Amino acid sequence: MTTTRTDNRHALDGEAILANARLIAPLLREHAAQVEAARRLTTPVVEALRDSGVFRMSMPRSWGGPEVDLLTQVEILEVLSRADASAGWCAMIGSDSGYYSAFLDDPAARELYPNLDVATAGWVIPAGSLEIAEGGYRLSGRWSFGSGCTHAEVICGGALVTEGGVPQPGPDGLPQWRIALLPADKVQVHDTWNTTGLCGSGSHDYSIEGQFVPADHTFPLGASKRDGTLYRWPGMFIANLVAVPLGTAADALDTAMGILDGKVLLPEGVRARDEARVRAGMARAQALVGSARSYVYATLGNFWATVAQGDEPSFAERAALAGCFVHTLTTCREAVALLADTVGTAAIQRGSSLERNQRDLITMGQHLMGQTKMREWAGGLWFGQPTPLSYL
């Protein structure tokens, strides 16, 4: 496996990566239309993200990484997503490398991640099979939604363990679910990503047929093999997802304010900013996004504090986290739809960032974390009932 460069820099901490995110935001915004047309991140965008240190956010201090705390990660991804949702989404996915490597023994993890800036892509849901073989498994399957697979160097694939094609039970009696990590050049990417929004995320299908994966390059989503708050909860890798809709909605608020501040309504001939309907719409949209952001930071902050103390999150804390995902995605989508109605025809013009914001949020809302199912699972957690996903 080849990587883009050898890492010989001093470790970047969270504040430095945040500062870098702000520095590269204009470039991401400048490339947003090109990224959307290409249906993948352009090379300058990938290089900017990699050089900013965003892909290394969850890499451990024991490797010289920054091990950035969860709330700072969210702040970094908000900045990137405000510039371009596709870039922010891919940064969120690509920065999972530190989390996934924490489930492996260090020697095996170092084989896959020889430097801190290796990006990972892929789907952990078991859409494939891991047929037991000497020394490991033979991985086969086809997965959807491989966001960032066009530039990642490591690909993951969730799969059920099989022997002779028959799923094998785990200690709990249920079929064993493991996640395999392998170099991206072992994977076939299928050009399938033609969507309403997040067009530049390159979230294509990918497939693998009978590829050998060493046993120590696979793991169950359970206990990490690494110390540190960042690795104590198996679902920490998904917790920063909420940053992308927040950043996207914040950009929509900025754009709408700019349009409405200079718009004159016809045939009345009055300034839009002086129209009661416009003022009410903007006030509500600002409150929706602001309240969602406050709920994110409060919920994730409480969850982080519990894990940092070495305590197991309660059902109530897990319920709040699960509900926070769907609440953030749906509330940001609602706010931007309201902005589009308030702005009028300028919000439906191709090339308008507000038009793209709305499409991006519609597409984000189709993610599992934004579906009604997630709200139902969150409700179950409030009543002390576990979800089907071990990382929630």
- 233: DSSP letter: S
Report the CATH number of the 14-112 domain: 1.10.540.10
CA distance 159 to 179: 6
The amino acid at 340: A
pLDDT means per 10 residues, the chain with 392 residues, are 40 94 98 97 98 98 97 98 98 98 97 98 96 98 96 98 96 93 97 97 97 97 92 95 98 96 86 92 98 98 97 97 97 98 92 95 95 95 92 85
Distances (CA, A) of 130 to 148, 153, 156: 23, 21, 12
Architecture label for domain 232-382: Up-down Bundle (1.20)
- Which run of H or E residues covers position 143? strand 136-146
Q: What residue spans define the domains of the chain?
A: 14-112, 120-219, 232-382
Q: Which residue is listed with tokens 């993200």?
A: 49
Class of 120-219 per CATH? mainly beta
How many other β-carbons are positioned within 10 Å of the β-carbon of residue 368?
A: 14
- 135: DSSP letter: T
C-alpha angle 213-215-220 in degrees, rounded to nearest 5: 105
- Closest to 68 in 3D by CA, of 39, 34, 92, 36: 92
Answer whether the bond into residue 267 is a cis peptide, omega within 30°: yes
C-alpha dihedral sign at 81, 362, 295, 226: negative
The amino acid at 293: R
3-state secondary structure of 389: coil
Quick check: 34 and 42 in contact, CB under 8 A? yes
| pLDDT for res 9 | 52
* 120 strand-pairing partners: 154
CA distance 217 to 252: 41
Distances (CA, A) of 305 to 67, 297, 340: 16, 12, 38
- Closest to 54 in 3D by CA, of 244, 198, 329: 244
Quick check: 132 and 169 in contact, CB under 8 A? no
| pLDDT for res 11 | 66
